[in-house]
Structure 1
Amino acid sequence: MSSKKIVITGGPGTGKTSLINELIKRNYICLEEISRQVILDARKDGIEQLFLTNPLLFSERLLKRRIEQYYEAKIAESSLVFIDRGVPDVLAYMDYAEENYPKTFEKACHTCRYDQVYVLAPWQDIFISDNERYENFDQAIKIHDQLLNTYNKYDYNLIDIPFDTIENRVDFLLDTLI
């Protein structure tokens, strides 16, 4: 059985993790955001902000783990798997930072295809910076725009999740699954 792979994406601080947590609470299989782990691993190696210090190295590590997540979702024993960010997110952030990356990044976007992509727009009322999120709200808007551009480049039909309570946002997502 091949699982339906559903990506939840959006700029920083848009509520992706809260949505994933609510889906987990409702007993759905979810693969959580992994960039925080890449950041924490780099800090153990003495690099405070790996993306800012070496964007390509950070993105290569992130891409490797996102590809692993894709294949984990593909073989999951569930009809649905929700993923906090997909492979195209890596390219979107590199484009946002105006950094170059190898063609293997683009190849990964063609190879790792998701069944549906949901987008959370920047929402000032819930945006919070923390130790792993260095972006401000204006940067979050620019990242959001770049995410839309990147997913559109790879021919995804993007579904916007409206601003609402976490429960209503998850209900919307579940009600609109194809």
Structure 2
Amino acid sequence: MRHLVLTGAPGAGKTALLEAAAASGMATSPEVARALLQQPGGMALRENDPLGFALTMLEGHLAEYRRFADHPGPVLFDRGFPDVVGFLEMANLPIPEAVESACRTLRYDGPIFRAPAWPAIYRQDAERIQDFAEAVASDRAVSAAWRRYGYSVVDLPLASVADRLAFIAARARPVT
């Protein structure tokens, strides 16, 4: 398995898990949306032009996917193309053909690892503006999108970062 994905609720520990994976020597790809939100004008783009924000996320995911196209793996991505679909559906916007095409033709290796909403660790911050109920709704939308595109979604345990990383490592088969 070369291209593994973390998805799930905002504030469910994905970034900490990605950092631990990188520290263990695994190649990682950071969350595209968070990077966009941290750029000047990123929050305004999300709020004032959610479709434009989604298309910019798509561009970022495409760049990350291509960056690791020939990497022998595994690579752990923080979110992927179907997450853009979940975002658009949360905003009640149509799915552009470019997003649909990416979801159907550029595939990740499964299963997709889902970090479920976890109230004990959830915290809002400058980029994570959803309240907990919105985080749960976002999780439902992105998880449904992954399934719609034919992926198996596996829940990570509500456990320590080390235990979650071991959970992923036990399920990530080497590339042959």
User: Where on the TM-score scale, by shorter chain, does this alignment land: which range?
Assistant: over 0.9
Residue equivalent to 1:14: 12
Pick aligned residue for 1:62 from 38, 52, 57 = 57
Q: 1:54 to 1:156 in 2, by over 3 A?
A: same
Could you state the TM-score of these two structures normalised by the residue count of structure 1?
0.92
Equivalent position to 1:26, from 2, 24, 27:
24
Shift of 1:79: 2.5
Cα offset for 1:102?
1.6
Q: Which residue matches 1:81?
A: 75
Distance in 2 of aligned mates of 1:94 and 1:16: 21
2:58 counterpart letter in structure 1: L
Q: Equivalent residue of 1:135, what SS?
A: coil
Matching residue of 1:168: 163
Q: Secondary structure at the match of 2:5?
A: strand
List gaps (5 residues or longer) in structure 2: none
SS of residue paired to 1:133: coil
Q: Post-superposition shift, 1:23?
A: 0.4
| Alignment RMSD | 1.3
So what's the TM-score if we normalise by structure 2?
A: 0.93
Give yes or no for contact 1:94–1:101 (8 Å, CA) kept in 2.
yes
For residues 79-135 of structure 1, the C-alpha deviation after alignment (integer angstroms, 9 at most, x for no partner) is 211100001101111101111232111011012100021101000000000001110
Distance 1:173 1:48, change over 3 A: closer
Distance in 2 (CA, whole Å) between partners of 1:73 and 1:159 is 23
Q: Alignment partner for residue 130 of structure 1, among 125, 143, 157? A: 125
Unaligned runs of 5+ in 1: none
